[in-house]
Structure 1
């Protein structure tokens, strides 16, 4: 990386800054988060001061604060807003493997099967949903913004935003992705919100089975 070339997925400090800004601030991605982080990382990597200051944690904190303030300034305006989505397969690649291989994976599930289901769901979101359905899915299910903020970010009313989200989930269901797996991942691996009715939590089923066995 001495020539300043930065791939945000290769450096975990850069990747962490992107993921923190995208997933954990509960604000819409109103600017190119990935591009903004990469540009700042490139300047940092090529700076003459880098040889004296190798504090990548400090770099990450500063970048998150700077880009966070830029987004808050955009969000405080009247709009209309532009959304800059990151494909789920890229954004969640590390989170998925880490979570599926952890002790939090429900006992009845096979890790490889869960990975297949999540991969199927992400591929559907990234490649089959309409642009509007993708926006609503990212805002509600991945980032976890409230319905009113999702509608405002999409420059539509709440009813229209909810309809796009519902249609998106219908497309994911038709792709034969297990929605219970998607619910587990969203509630365990992101700050998002699962909005589909009649899909039970796997934890609830496990508790009921344990109670019946006693």
Structure 2
């Protein structure tokens, strides 16, 4: 048994998973007004990192420009790695999008964040190819999730609706916990939660928006 451990939780159970399946509506938008949901979406899809582990660059912001029916239209994509993009990267990206197409994000279907058809002038740049590769890496063994407070993130496949997302003191990223019948918690795995990855939770704790609790993890 590891614990008891202290973790940060908001007063309204921000950590409960609201949707790890596409048919569960996405709640409200908790992000600052200056942060667009488009940006939250593309940064979440790549775990906000590039292929070298640095913060995702602006070139990745073109992910939502990839039209919904992109796969199978080889003439749409040219460049140094067009074949790999067409045969590997896009099918994986489209598989993710297909599963999530009806998930509600800020009152809109996931699918609506992507154009239905290829826009005139669209080109597959090297930066966008790298973004697709990063999506493949970030989503290997993971899936999109939302919380009851409206945060968007990535969870391991074993996560279930109703699990908790918490930040443990000393951990570099949020974790997913599952309540046991005896009141203790099971450690499910790590998570990416956009807007909670860079110390924001501590700021909210100090502002009284979150509270600190002690959990026993077995």
Alignment TM class, shorter chain as reference: under 0.3
More helix by share: 1
If asked which structure has higher relative contact order (CA below 8 Å, sep 6+), I would say: 2
Higher strand share: 2
